Amino acid sequence: MHTAIEIFCCLRHNQTCGEGKDGLRRDRRYSWQFVCVKGAVLLISWILFVGCETGVPTEAKEALARLPQAQSIRIQNDWTGLSPAAPLEAHYTLQRTAAGFSGKASFAAGGYGGHPRRALREIEIPSEAAHTFLQMLSEAPIRAGRYEPTITHTDDYPSIRIELETETERVVFFSESQGAGHVPWGVTLKGKTYVSRSDVPARALATLSPYLEREALERLEAEVEAEA
């Protein structure tokens, strides 16, 4: 049986690849050197193609892999659009503790009206939940590219930013995309911006929902709308 590369080479040179005695000798005598060279070229091309396809250097992948060791988390989960309660703001500043992460959350609604409603909350995220969140982000698929948000309609503008700091670097996930999962996301690390065409960052953030006290923002929104 001939290998796929041999068959390709035979066809490329209009040679026969049958099992006839003369044909087989002619193939082997005439194509083995070519097969070896062509095979090496194809292998190198494939390696280069895979590298160019992702465009993510090893140091960037290593930076992502270190995210479970993050010492601080900052989250901004904002929205603006056609609403008397706009803009809605939810900002978190969290530091690692022995029990997980803790810090403060600030909420605001109705700023465009000149008299925004505000609220503050203390936030505690247990170690297990924080680890799940950070591990998911560390596994988010990224590739080189220019970030362009998905905008399909008007009067609905989310703005989400997740900033993580380890001992050696800062990594930022961000999105202004509409729709479920806010895909695509931008990712900034090592001084470069990458793109994640995945909803992993949104799903990671959703795992923290039980601890982020977003009900406080919903109450502010309802108060502003009731007075409009």
Q: Are 80 and 154 in contact (CB under 8 A)?
A: no
Residue 46, Cβ density class (10 Å: 0-12 exposed, 13-18 middle, ≥19 buried): exposed
CA 170 to chain centre: 15
> Which residue is listed with tokens 């960037």?
60
Which residue positions in the chain have pLDDT lower than 50?
A: 1-32, 34-38, 40-53
pLDDT at residue 54, rounded to an integer: 60
Half-sphere exposure at residue 77, Cβ-oriented, CA atoms within 13 angstroms: 20
How many C-beta neighbours within 10 Å does residue 53 have? 10
For the whole prediction, is pTM greater than 0.85? no
How many C-beta neighbours within 10 Å does residue 92 have? 23
74 φψ region: left (φ > 0), alpha (ψ -120 to 50), beta (else): beta
Taking the CA atoms of 181, 185, 188 and 189 in sequence, report the sign of the dihedral they define: positive
Domain extents for the chain?
Answer: 4-54, 63-227
pLDDT at residue 116, rounded to an integer: 94
Rounded Cα–Cα distance for residues 223 and 204 (Å):
30
Name the CA radius of gyration of the chain, rounded. Answer: 27
pLDDT at residue 76, rounded to an integer: 98
pLDDT at residue 125, rounded to an integer: 98
Listed residue (77, 133, 70) closest to 97, CA to CA? 70
Q: In what order do the strands lie in the sheet with 89-97?
A: 117-126, 100-109, 89-97, 72-81, 156-165, 170-175, 185-189, 192-196, 143-144
Which residues are CB-neighbours of 174 under 8 A, at least 6 positions away? 147, 160, 161, 162, 185, 186, 187, 188
Tokens linked to 68: 């479970």
Cα→Cα distances 32→5, 50, 202, Å: 10, 27, 53
- Read off the pLDDT of residues 43-97 as tens digits, 9 standing for 90 and up: 444 333 344 336 899 999 999 999 999 999 999 999 999 999 999 999 999 999 9
DSSP state of 115: -
Q: Are 189 and 60 in contact (CB under 8 A)?
A: yes
CATH topology for 63-227? Mago nashi protein (3.30.1560)
pLDDT at residue 7, rounded to an integer: 38
